[in-house]
A and B are shown apart, each in its own frame.
Chain A
Amino acid sequence: MNFLVNLYFREGPGIDKNAPAPTGLRLLAHVAGREWWELIKLNVLVIAFSLPLVTLPAAWFAATRIGVMMIEDRNIYLLRDFWAAFRAGFWRATGFGALLLAGGTLAVLAVQSYAALALESLIYAAPLALAIAMAVLIPLFALYLFTALAMDMAATSVDLIKAAALGLLRNPLAGLSALAVICALWIAHILFYPASVILPVMVNFSFGALIGSFGVMGGVRFGLARLSSAQRAGERAQPEIQMA
Chain B
Amino acid sequence: MASISLRKVGKSFGALKVVHDIDLEIADKEFIILVGPSGCGKSTTLRMIAGLEEVSNGDLVIGNTIVNDVPSKDRDIAMVFQNYALYPHMTVYKNMAFGLELRRAPREVIEQKVREAAEILDITHLLNRKPKALSGGQRQRVALGRAMVRSPEVFLLDEPLSNLDAKLRSTMRAEITKLHRRLDATFIYVTHDQVEAMTMADRIVVMKDGHIQQVDTPQSLYDNPVNMFVAGFIGAPQMNFLPLTLERSDKGTIARFKNHSLPLPERLAAKVAEADYGRAFMLGLRPENLGERAPVDVDPALVAPLEFLVDLAEPMGAEVHLNGSLEGHSVVARVSSRCRVQAGESVTLFADLSAAHIFDAETQQSLGL
Contacts and interface: CB of A to CB of B under 8 A. Distances in A.
Interface of A: 8-15, 17, 34, 73-77
Contact of B132 (A12, A17, A73, A76): A12
A8 B135 contact: no
B93 A13 contact: no
Contact of A11 (B122, B126, B134): B134
A17 B122 contact: yes
B125 A11 contact: no
Given A11-B136, A75-B93, A77-B94, 14 more contacts: A10-B132, A11-B135, A12-B135, A13-B133, A14-B135, A15-B134, A15-B135, A34-B128, A74-B128, A75-B91, A75-B94, A75-B127, A75-B128, A76-B128
Contacts of A75: 91, 93-94, 127-128
Interface string B18-40: 00000000000000000000000
B137 interface: yes
A15 B126 contact: yes
A76 B129 CA distance: 11
Contacts of B94: 75, 77
A17 B88 CA distance: 21
B135 A13 contact: yes
B138 interface: yes
B166 to A, nearest CB: 16
Interface in B120-177: 122, 125-139
A14 B132 CA distance: 9
A73 B128 contact: yes
B138 A14 contact: yes
15 contacts: A9-B88, A11-B134, A11-B135, A12-B133, A12-B135, A13-B133, A13-B135, A14-B133, A14-B137, A15-B138, A17-B125, A34-B130, A75-B93, A75-B94, A76-B128
Contacts of B91: 75
Interface string B56-93: 00000000000000000000000000000000100101
B126 to A, nearest CB: 6
Tell me the interface secondary structure of chain B in the complex.
helix
Contacts of B136: 11
Contacts of A77: 94
A207 B122 CA distance: 32
A12 B134 contact: yes
Contacts of A14: 133-135, 137-138
Range class of the B interface residue count: 20 to 34
Given A14-B137, A15-B134, A15-B138, A8 B128 contact: no
A237 to B, nearest CB: 36
A75 B107 CA distance: 12
A14 B138 CA distance: 7
A10 B136 CA distance: 9
A17 B127 CA distance: 12
Contacts of A74: 128
A22 to B, nearest CB: 13
Nearest to B138: A14
A34 B132 CA distance: 11
Contacts of B130: 34
Most chain B beta-carbon neighbours within 10 Å: one of A8, A10, A75, A77: A75
Nearest to A11: B136
Contacts of B133: 12-15
A48 to B, nearest CB: 21
Contact of B88 (A8, A13, A73): A8
B164 to A, nearest CB: 10
Nearest to B122: A17
A12 B88 CA distance: 12
A167 B91 CA distance: 33
A13 B137 CA distance: 11
Nearest to B125: A17
Nearest to A14: B135
A37 B93 CA distance: 17
B107 to A, nearest CB: 9
A17 B122 CA distance: 9
A9 B139 CA distance: 11
B128 A11 contact: no
A13 B135 CA distance: 5
Contacts of B127: 75
Contacts of B132: 8, 10, 12
B129 A15 contact: yes
Q: Which 4 A-B pairs give the minimum distances between C-beta atoms?
A: A14-B135, A12-B133, A75-B93, A17-B125
A14 B93 CA distance: 16
A11 B168 CA distance: 14
Contacts of A17: 122, 125
Interface string B83-110: 0000010010110000000000000000
Contacts of B125: 15, 17
A12 B130 CA distance: 10
